[in-house]
Structure 1
Amino acid sequence: MFPLRRVARGFRSGLVQLAIGTAMTANAPLPLRHFLLALAVVAVWGTNFVVIRIGLNHLPPLLFATLRFCMVLVPMVFIVKRPAVSWKNLAAYGLLIGAGQFGLLFVAMKGHISPGLASLILQTQVFFTIGMAMWISKERIQGFQVVALLLAVAGIVVIAAHGGGAATPLGVMLGLLAALSWSGGNIVARQAGPVNMLGYVVWASLFSIPPLFLMSLWLEGWPAIVHGVTSASLGTWLAVAWQAVGNTMFGYAAWGWLLARHPAATVTPMALLVPVFGMSASALILGEGLPAWKLIAAALVLTGLAVNMLWPKVRTKFLAPA
């Protein structure tokens, strides 16, 4: 049994550190090459929701998630050295990101929410992270954070009220739970300290695969697993491979590389572009409509995220007393 008090203390420490990192302000912009790298990452992450939708045409969602992490693990586990973190930390991250974030996300996207809206709702992980940090560290919420949260909540309400075929109540709920799992994974990763993020993700996959496969076996059944694997087309396997290579290995490694060289407040606002790429790719490739209510919802959520991420920097730079 894990030492619960030690895990709780570490979790609290990670939350406090993440809250401090979120509140940082950055003075120097990203160099052009680093900006283009960050742009490439968010483009991959945004358009990846379309790739997920394509893969789900032939694979059950939990099996799809299982195969994704299998391709991350093998053969990279024999190439990349295990980072110097505890097995408990790797297990927590693998469970939260694997079974939590992507397991729930893939289930949601199997007919419950469109790729564009999924890319938007998943970004609410920012508010979950800050809320948990404040709850644990007993910090008081600031005025701009209340405004940011209300804007984002208004956007989610618009989605829930007008989703229709684009988002069911179950899809919205699963998307929010996936965002909550992602925020927990971020906190656990922060607790691990400065490690090789590629190796971290690869070795944490050891703990993502078993629960995902067991859930697939229980909820989707062995016949569906066999049929999904044997009937998958080349395009389906390319979608699985892209999940592992493009989204995980390139995306996480490049993002971690950028965060190791620049303040978090300089890099993380780039993530605001993920829903932009996600909704644009969904409209162009899958023909997902962009009615007025969806654009209003996107504007509300993205404005809330922008206020939360950028207001401290704007206040310091333009509103601080001379």
Structure 2
Amino acid sequence: MTDQKNAALKPWQAFALIAALSLIWGYNWVMMKVAVHDAPPFAFAALRFLGGAIVLMATFKLMGRNLHWRAMAKRWKTVVLVGTFQTACCFGLITWAISTGTAGRAAILNYTMVFWVLVFSAAFLHEKVPAVQWAAAGLALIGILCIVFAGGQTGNLFNIGLALAAGLTWGIGVIVTKRAMKFGAMDTMALTAWQMLVGAVILCTVALLVPEPPINWTPAFIAAILYNIGPATPLAYVIWFTLISRLPAGLASLSIMLTPLLGIVLSGLQLGEIPGLVEGVGMGLILVAIAGLGLVGNRGSGNRRA
């Protein structure tokens, strides 16, 4: 008999949750751009994840979730590595990229993480990657080259490199997690919370060591911080874990396909960030490639993500 907690979602429930998560994370690219207008990137990232980690842990406890601190302490190397790459490096770099460029471009380049995971899985975990997924990765590469070409014309290559590096470090974090799972299962919700706290501590240290101007505590910045430690962290992660535990992996990944698209659209509407022709073509190719990967996963995976 199916456990009620893990029962499959009704179609309207799945649609509502995917739409909500995509909108929350998609709009957060706009909020991050608003935040770095009044705060240096590392200080904002440090505040975001320190507050977010605390609120996320409190949320999980209120939900009756066990944070498994003893088990996490035994696997501290994994927790530290994932926190370093997936939170500290990835979001430190992407916040830096947003502060020096557009939110839409940062969003789409950050989501090349899915292709880094594919490459690293094949290279380091010796996983077999279907030809159609390599084709999607090739399409994404063409899109990246279009954006790099456009960036070379406008002097944005450093900013583009930051965003790509952020996606790469996220991919490394995923590979560390996947490899660790081979040596024993780990509670993904507990791992998420603890690695986020580790990443927050690292970001706080960087923010204290790197010379940066003081934060300007404007109403817009306060709203952006509250959004990041509120809807964009505990609410979004609760929705995400609900989706991956109660939907096929490919269907749950629809939110990953929609988030960068919404990031581009919403940053254009609110911030007036309109990409040029070549850059726009590159973004479109990457979005098509991400969508292709999601459709392949949805068709080929009846399993649920852990």
| Interval containing the TM-score (normalised by the shorter chain) | 0.7 to 0.9
- Structure 2 counterpart of 1:218, one-letter code: L
After superposition, the Cα gap between the structure-2 partners of 1:125 and 1:110, relative to the gap in structure 1 and judged at 3 Å, is same
Asked if 1:202 corresponds to 2:182, the answer is no
| Deviation for aligned residue 1:75 | 5.3
The match for 2:304 is none
2:267 is aligned, of 275, 282, 285, to 282
Deviations along 1:225-261, one digit per CA (max 9) or x if unpaired, are: xx21xx3112212211211212121112211111011
The match for 1:106 is 95
Asked if 1:151 corresponds to 2:143, the answer is no
The match for 2:104 is 116
1:97 is aligned, of 76, 86, 108, to 86
Alpha-carbon distance in 2 for matches of 1:194, 1:260 = 14
Alpha-carbon distance in 2 for matches of 1:75, 1:294 = 37
Alpha-carbon distance in 2 for matches of 1:127, 1:101 = 15
Aligned positions of 1:100-249 closer than 5 A: 100-111=89-100, 113-139=101-127, 141-163=129-151, 168-190=156-178, 191=180, 193=185, 195=187, 197=189, 199-221=190-212, 224=213, 227-228=214-215, 231-249=216-234
- Structure 1 counterpart of 2:87, one-letter code: G
Alpha-carbon distance in 2 for matches of 1:315, 1:259 = 16
The match for 1:56 is 36
| Deviation for aligned residue 1:167 | 7.4
Comparing 188-197 and 125-134, the one that deviates more: 188-197
Alpha-carbon distance in 2 for matches of 1:52, 1:246 = 13
Comparing 249-258 and 48-57, the one that deviates more: 249-258
Alpha-carbon distance in 2 for matches of 1:208, 1:51 = 20
CA contact (8 A) 1:29 1:266 kept: no
Cα RMSD after superposing both structures:
2.6
Runs of 4+ residues deviating >6 angstroms: 164-167
Q: Alignment partner of 1:288: what SS?
A: coil
Aligned positions of 1:281-300 closer than 5 A: 281-300=266-285
Deviations along 1:65-116, one digit per CA (max 9) or x if unpaired, are: 10011212335546634234333332222212221111010111111x3101
- Structure 2 counterpart of 1:195, one-letter code: D
Deviations along 1:12-40, one digit per CA (max 9) or x if unpaired, are: xxxxxxxxxxxxxxxx9972111210111
Alpha-carbon distance in 1 for matches of 2:88, 2:208 = 14
CA contact (8 A) 1:159 1:167 kept: no
After superposition, the Cα gap between the structure-2 partners of 1:75 and 1:137, relative to the gap in structure 1 and judged at 3 Å, is closer
CA contact (8 A) 2:89 2:169 kept: yes
Residue identity (%): 26
| Deviation for aligned residue 1:283 | 0.8
1:40 is aligned, of 20, 23, 31, to 20
- Structure 2 counterpart of 1:56, one-letter code: V
CA contact (8 A) 2:53 2:200 kept: no
Q: Alignment partner of 1:289: what SS?
A: coil
